[in-house]
Structure 1
Amino acid sequence: MNDHTDPEKFARTAFADGPRLLADIGATHARFALQTAPGVFRSVRVLRCDDFEGIVPLLRFYLSDHDDATLHHAALAVANPVNGDQVRMTNRDWQFSTDAVRRELGLQTLLIVNDFTALAMAIPGLRPEDLMKVGGGAPAGNAVVGVLGPGTGLGVSGVIPTADGFVTLGSEGGHVNFAPADEREFAILQFAWQEWPHVSNERLISGPGMEIIYRALAHRNGVKAPPRSSPDIISGALDERDALCLEVLDCFCGMLGGAAANLAVTLGSFGGVFIGGGIVPRMGEWFAQSQFRARFEAKGRFSSYLADIPTYVITTPNPAFHGVATILSEHLRGRSGANTLMERIGHLQHELTPAEQRVATLVLEHPRLVLNEPIAGIARLAEVSQPTVIRFCRSLGFLGLADFKLKFASSLTGAIPVRHSQVRTGDSTHDVSAKVIDNTVSAILKFRDQLDVRSIDRAIELLTRAKRVEFYALGNSRVVALDGQHKFFRFRIPTASYGDSHLFTLAAELLQPGDVVVAISNSGRLPELLTAVEAARAAGADVIAITSSGSPLAKKASVCLAVDHAEDSTTFLSMISRVLQLLLIDILSVGISLDGRGERDDAAGTDQHHMLISHLGS
């Protein structure tokens, strides 16, 4: 029985929150699995990317066989650099927003990582039987590892051991310039220049690159050769013993050996260089006898340096699953990921000494600055001694500042998350502006993730059917009520806004069934507003409350649209809460506009709805 049809597969999951979706998505094929326990991958399936128009249809097709599985977490390795939310694939015309895909699939967690970053993360967990050693050398303990592998492209990465695990390097090293080592390779480079002004390693040391080498050598040798794909070239060499195909493989493996040697001396990969990808494992034992290792060690004065570094071919199927599973697991445990180290510092800050807390504050508010400053600069900016900086790093479990910076830099790969930062008396105008904007954006993103869509749907339904809509608010929320009235009157609904407690109490008593009150309050505890809401409900009207959940106003309303952002309104005007309230008015307005109110509006009314949408941004 195929595993993906096994009805009991999910009952055996070792994860409390169910199986985890893993994928390794290349330019040609996408490999999927459901991880049900550490090291256990079920429902493995390989799909052709050409059969799908984008990543969401691809994911939905795989998941269509697993409707019985409740998925909360997923991690995808893609053959692409990953920087921030937007992902544009290099060798395929796909682009997507990570967060949009997460929300569309209903996931709590969706990580997108570079495919060779995932492969690199798998290296520490590989067993001897998962590898084929090529040549001599022995790995040094606790040393850097290099990873590369040709497939549709050429992936390059590295693994650096740290005190609490490993750091993988997100690299696009396959795009460095190709450097020929002899006259034959120079002739191939000249042939490739006819197609591209810049010839990188990936142009030649890859599946498509093997086909370029085939055509170039046929041209150089004066041979009329039939077109062949890279799999055909490999089978032509190993099965048919075709002379041209054998020369292509010999040349290809030599080029790969040169690229591996360059990676080894660049990283100091005394832990070994590991070859992955989809091409080399197909060559089997032939690869071990190829020019790869000889070329790897042919480094002039550094030949003995490279002779001590072992090289391996990864032979286990789907090794990226192990790496991407590790990355997801560590993210969920709070050890790695986009911003978990930042969060860890924030959570532990109160446990640090006062001096160490000043270092923590500097790290949280100026992460890039800390990465670029030497220890003396960090100490000066935090107004502490240099030993305090070291103690701060060790309090977090790092060996010292260098170890901390290495892991911190890895955790900040891509965009630094927008987070709340306290505005301080001595802040410059630039810092004040940045913090106010960042704090607002941070609150909006959190608000988006916590939005109760069902309540919004219910509110839109009430407003769409309303005979009359009245907005009640006092103080700082009054401007939100006026904004709501300004937008809603365009729907040709009788609309009013009251900011006087005496007036809206009287108005509430005149309401009828089918009318709707939108009551807006940050605290939800104003006695005058509560009295008016009670009167409105007694008159048969519905009440939509834009307020904090759990407040008295929320409990008295027909529908509560929660705005739970804590602000000290006794000292400051509620700023961010007001922005979130205005956002809810916009969401309701657009929702009503799209709903159409067609059953009671004529063509002119429909034009008003379209006009409203265009006016939202004005």
Structure 2
Amino acid sequence: MTRIVADIGGTNARFAVAHSHQGGYRLEAVQVVNCAMFDDFYSAMGQWIEGLEGARPTQACIAVAGPVEKTPEGGRVTMTNLGWDIRAEALCRRFSLDRALVVNDFAALALSLPRLPEEDKWALRDVPAQAGGPMVVLGPGTGLGVAALVHDGGNYRVVPGEGGHANLSAGSDRELELLRILARDQMPVYNEYVLSGGGLVNLYRAVCALHGRQAEALTPPDVSSRGLDGSDLLCRETLIDFLNFLGSAAGDASLYYVARGGVFLGGGVLPRIESLLPESQFEQRFTTKGRLGEWLKGVRVEVLKAGYPALIGAAAWLEI
């Protein structure tokens, strides 16, 4: 069976055709487009579909960043940052589909976890995962996505989340000072105000203020590249602080879902800066949770490699 799958973020839209293959899926006709180039979602998808060769699939699953409203037709979402309105019934009507689903992007990412080969991830905390235990995935991108996957009577069930809007917590005196600075512009300071692409810039400005320095007008890629090559020590500090805060948020997510099946880190930001994870205090922040710190030491943490896991998860949604 072939299916249309898409992963729509605040910056890029990814489209592909998914073929059932050896118990999993093979992606073909993969295309990534800049969302800003299109007035609406249907224009972006329509341009991609026009380039397809052969018979078009008659089923589609669209994974979208943001809270999705369930409907009898298959779901709908309004992406406020883009002004895009995506509805399952409109997909069926416009593209002659028999079935369409609209799901949260991290709900799709969660459903991909049991289907990803080992080469698509690497262990940051290499401890055994509990077979059938709850799994949680989170990752900074345009926002901070969070979702869980639980075993339910032999099948997996996705538990979507909006953990990006939970409040960010401090794990050190330095982080407490950074939160005080951040709170001048945003009170309370929620997770994705720091743990996202735009949040990386917010954190950079706070680090500059902590040092009494004037922040430059940098983009998230600027902060990442300068921090990674060591040309700007404040950018370097920002990346380390970012990973430390991420460790704390990942530990929180593990506790929320009792994630003995593992915590998985994804999103668009982390693959660019994951080389700094060993230099950061990610693990200390992950396990510093009071009386449950020892319990957290038994939770496996894996990093998803760059690729298209949400597209795999979107294909799997059509089998539910």
- TM-score bucket (shorter structure): over 0.9
Residue of structure 2 equivalent to 1:49: 35
Secondary structure in structure 2 of the residue aligned to 1:194? coil
Residue of structure 1 equivalent to 2:89: 99
Q: Distance in 1 between matches of 2:66 and 2:207?
A: 30
Q: Distance in 2 between matches of 1:97 and 1:303?
A: 43
Residue of structure 2 equivalent to 1:134: 124
Structure 2 counterparts to residues 119-518 of structure 1, below 5 A: 119-328=109-318, 330=319, 336=320
Q: Distance in 1 between matches of 2:80 and 2:240?
A: 28
Secondary structure in structure 2 of the residue aligned to 1:277? coil
Aligned letter for 1:46? V
Q: Distance in 1 between matches of 2:104 and 2:40?
A: 18
For the Cα contact (< 8 Å) 1:139–1:271, is it kept in 2? yes
For the Cα contact (< 8 Å) 1:24–1:115, is it kept in 2? yes
Q: Distance in 2 between matches of 1:66 and 1:136?
A: 42
C-alpha offsets along residues 299-318 of structure 1, whole Å, 9 cap, x if unaligned? 23222111111111101511
Q: CA deviation at 1:78?
A: 0.2
Q: Distance in 2 between matches of 1:156 and 1:325?
A: 19
1:31 aligns with 2:14: yes
C-alpha offsets along residues 406-442 of structure 1, whole Å, 9 cap, x if unaligned? xxxxxxxxxxxxxxxxxxxxxxxxxxxxxxxxxxxxx
Q: Distance in 2 between matches of 1:144 and 1:67?
A: 40
The structure whose residues are more often helix, as a share, is 1
Q: Distance in 1 between matches of 2:150 and 2:226?
A: 39
Structure 2 counterparts to residues 469-618 of structure 1, below 5 A: none
Secondary structure in structure 2 of the residue aligned to 1:103? helix
Q: Distance in 2 between matches of 1:71 and 1:128?
A: 29
Secondary structure in structure 1 of the residue aligned to 2:161? coil
Residue of structure 2 equivalent to 1:63: 49
Residue of structure 2 equivalent to 1:404: none
Secondary structure in structure 2 of the residue aligned to 1:62? helix
Distance change >3 Å, CA 32–CA 86, structure 1 → 2: closer
Gaps in structure 2 of 5+ consecutive residues: none
Secondary structure in structure 2 of the residue aligned to 1:146? strand
Q: Distance in 2 between matches of 1:297 and 1:172?
A: 22
Q: CA deviation at 1:67?
A: 5.8
Residue of structure 1 equivalent to 2:69: 83
1:115 aligns with 2:105: yes
Residue of structure 2 equivalent to 1:596: none
Q: Distance in 2 between matches of 1:164 and 1:121?
A: 14
C-alpha offsets along residues 442-486 of structure 1, whole Å, 9 cap, x if unaligned? xxxxxxxxxxxxxxxxxxxxxxxxxxxxxxxxxxxxxxxxxxxxx
- After superposing on structure 2, the runs of 4+ consecutive aligned residues of structure 1 that deviate more than 3 Å are none
Residue of structure 2 equivalent to 1:479: none
Q: CA deviation at 1:214?
A: 0.2
C-alpha offsets along residues 75-127 of structure 1, whole Å, 9 cap, x if unaligned? 11000111134411244322233212321111111110000000000011122
Q: Distance in 2 between matches of 1:57 and 1:174?
A: 29
Aligned letter for 1:237? G
Q: Distance in 2 between matches of 1:50 and 1:235?
A: 23
For the Cα contact (< 8 Å) 1:80–1:90, is it kept in 2? no
Secondary structure in structure 1 of the residue aligned to 2:51? helix
1:74 aligns with 2:48: no
Q: Distance in 1 between matches of 2:76 and 2:63?
A: 14
Q: CA deviation at 1:132?
A: 1.6
C-alpha offsets along residues 21-52 of structure 1, whole Å, 9 cap, x if unaligned? 11000000011111133321111111000001
Distance change >3 Å, CA 242–CA 28, structure 1 → 2: same
Q: Distance in 2 between matches of 1:291 and 1:236?
A: 20
C-alpha offsets along residues 546-589 of structure 1, whole Å, 9 cap, x if unaligned? xxxxxxxxxxxxxxxxxxxxxxxxxxxxxxxxxxxxxxxxxxxx
Secondary structure in structure 2 of the residue aligned to 1:169? strand
Q: Distance in 1 between matches of 2:82 and 2:244?
A: 28
Q: CA deviation at 1:177?
A: 1.3
Higher mean C-alpha displacement, 244-253 vs 162-171: 162-171
Q: Distance in 2 between matches of 1:20 and 1:124?
A: 19
For the Cα contact (< 8 Å) 1:131–1:312, is it kept in 2? yes
For the Cα contact (< 8 Å) 2:230–2:236, is it kept in 1? no
Q: Distance in 2 between matches of 1:197 and 1:217?
A: 17
Q: Distance in 1 between matches of 2:9 and 2:146?
A: 14
Q: CA deviation at 1:148?
A: 0.4
Q: Distance in 2 between matches of 1:285 and 1:247?
A: 14
Aligned letter for 1:192? L
Report the structure number with the largest CA radius of gyration. Answer: 1
Q: CA deviation at 1:232?
A: 1.6
Q: Select 2:3's aligned residue among 10, 17, 20.
A: 20
Aligned letter for 2:122? M
Distance change >3 Å, CA 63–CA 301, structure 1 → 2: same
Q: Of the two structures, which has the highest relative contact order with CA contacts closer than 8 Å and spacing of 6 or more?
A: 2
For the Cα contact (< 8 Å) 1:218–1:244, is it kept in 2? yes
Secondary structure in structure 1 of the residue aligned to 2:29? strand
Aligned letter for 1:73? Q
Q: Distance in 1 between matches of 2:188 and 2:285?
A: 23
Q: CA deviation at 1:159?
A: 0.7
The number of residue pairs the alignment matches comes to 313
Coordinate RMSD, CA, aligned: 1.6
Distance change >3 Å, CA 70–CA 135, structure 1 → 2: closer
Aligned letter for 1:32? F
Q: CA deviation at 1:164?
A: 2.8
Aligned letter for 1:74? A
Q: Distance in 2 between matches of 1:288 and 1:276?
A: 17
